[in-house]
Structure 1
Amino acid sequence: MTTDQFSVDGQTAIVTGSSSGIGKSIVERFAEDGANVVVTSREMENVEPVADEINESERPGNALAFECDVTDRDAVQELVDATVDEFGSLDILVNNAGAGFQAPPTEITENGWKTIVDINLHGTFHCSQIAAEYMKDNGGGRIVNLASVAGVRGSKTMSHYGAAKAGVINFTTSFAADRAEDDIWVNCIAPGLVATEGVRSQMGVEDDAGGIERTTPDRTIGKPEEIADLTQFLASPASSYMVGETVTIKGLPRLE
């Protein structure tokens, strides 16, 4: 069996929110497979170590560190321009940047609501629209959005986050339909609990990724690397018949 169709070798990928957690695992995975990657988040001091580690490793892909706030449209344009200047193309966009906090709906301020929607939904819109304009004129590409199971079925004390991620899911379907004629594939991933620092700090989950066995199906928390695996599939030619889809990855279903 050939595995060439799963490769992103020779591609250039922007992964937002890639200084830690799922995003970091994705840029490391892509670079391991030979893709050039742009490591980006709001603080340069957080992305530089990730890019330096990739460049100093034996991974065949190279990394560029770039500071970008995805809620700032001008900053996103600068991100895309810098990517093309550095690597000569933009083939893959992974909209991973996101934020959330726990609070009952009655305690969420208007500013808190707007902040979460702005980062998760508007940020995805800005990056997708600007990247797609480049891809349209340069042979197409692939966009992978990161949503959440909270956006599929809701989540207690996460109404703002769930609403924003539900918007990402619907945006994926609609945007995919509009950009398919430009040879742009758009799909979405809706993860359940993943052992990242953000999940541990926000939700009090104590599971550490290092202690999770991938050989065990009987679990309801995953590793960042498992989301990276699915992201690479959606960013590769292997997913050529998937357009506008949202793939839920959450381990064992909880049956009542």
Structure 2
Amino acid sequence: MDIQSLFGLDGKVALVTGGATGIGRMACEALVRAGATVLMASRKGDACEAVAAELNALGASGKAIGFAGDVGSEAGVDALVAAVKERTDTLDILMNNAGITWGAPLGDFPHKAWEKVMNVNVAGMFDLTQKLLPMLIASGSVDDPARVINVGSVMGEREMGDGAYSYSMSKAAVHHMTRILGKELAGKHVTVNALAPGPFVSKMTAFATHDEDTREKVGKDVPVGRVGRDEDIAGCMLFLCGRGGAYVTGAIIPVSGGINVMSGPNIFEQALH
């Protein structure tokens, strides 16, 4: 068994939305290092171009191309699809990573926080996937299907509002979308899986991960004792996108350090001591 053939991505073409920062950037670097050509899109096209230049300076076998793209509206999705088609005739991997959040306490959570978050995190993700399906289906085969990787959250898996109600519920929708599309697209040689991350360093979590001391404090509340690292995302991406993950679809991968299996205290603890 050739390990490189299981996880290498030479010749593959990927699109990563929200690719300039956080989990998206971690994924882009992993894909480039594995040999893929990675199209990186986010609302800040200049940031994507800058990160693409950084990745291309690594001397890896793949390459990155950065440009602007917004999945927050139907027009934005259509423009992104057109931009992708201008840059490639084939698409093997789609990572739906772009997402936004909104924080406010229960009782003050505004109505407008639902439309904005759901438009990006759910409607935009579905619409982009739907409109890129012809390219994905064309590149997939029974032995090497095309891949869709959706980014959900452990907050969509556990009963965690934490002031981000529309975000948490949107990520639960992402997980259900992943299972539905995993079922419907399996016969078309497209696998659909999702990551459900816990705390990682990103702009979205900057309030809790902006420095080493704060990250250490947050990590103490994670069962494995730390926040997520770049290699945690890289390992998942290379598995799900490489030949080694070709037989997996509809899965929600809990990249959360055990938060996904946290529960309440032992109800018999006092009686046993």
Confirm or deny a common fold (TM above 0.5): yes
Match of 1:199 in 2: 205
1:252 Cα offset (Å): 4.0
Residues 46-104 of structure 1: CA deviation (Å, up to 9, x unaligned): 11101122233312212211211112334334433433443431000001101113222
CA contact (8 A) 2:73 2:119 kept: no
Q: Identity of aligned pairs, percent?
A: 30
For 1:91, the equivalent position in structure 2 comes to: 92
Give the structure 1 partner of residue 268 of structure 2. Answer: none
1:22/1:225 contact within 8 Å kept = no
Q: Offset at 1:149?
A: 0.5
CA distance in 2, matches of 1:7, 1:162: 33
Runs of 5+ consecutive residues of structure 2 not aligned to the other structure: 217-222, 266-273
8 Å contact from structure 2 (residues 202, 209) kept in 1: no
Pair 1:178-2:181 in alignment: no
Whole-Å separation in 1 of the counterparts to 2:151 and 2:26: 13
Taking the aligned partners of 1:77 and 1:188, their CA distance within structure 2 comes to: 23
TM-score normalised per structure 2: 0.84
Aligned length: 249
Q: Contact 2:196/2:252 (CA < 8 Å) preserved in 1?
A: yes
- Deviation track 1:114-164 (CA, whole Å, cap 9, x = no partner) reads 111111111211221112122223435100000001000132212211110
Q: Are 2:131 and 1:130 aligned?
A: yes
Q: Distance in 2 between matches of 1:177 and 1:218?
A: 32
Q: Deviation per CA, 1:211-244: give whole Å up to 9, x if none.
A: 88xxxx8414111331132122111121122111
SS at match of 1:187: strand
Q: Which moved more, 1:63-72 or 1:78-87?
A: 78-87
Instruction: Name the CA shift for 1:188/1:36 in 2 (closer, same or farther; >3 Å).
Output: same
TM-score, scaled to structure 1: 0.89
Q: Distance in 2 between matches of 1:175 and 1:60?
A: 31
Q: In 1, Cα distance between the equivalents of 2:57 and 2:211?
A: 30
1:46-125 to 2 correspondence within 5 Å? 46-125=47-126
Gap change, CA 1:28 and 1:16, over 3 Å in 2: same
Other-structure match for 2:18: 17
Contact 1:220 1:252 in 2 (8 A): no
User: 1:250, 1:220 → 2: CA distance?
Assistant: 10
Query: Secondary structure of the residue that 1:66 maps to in structure 2?
Result: strand
Alignment-derived partner of residue 244 in structure 1 = 250
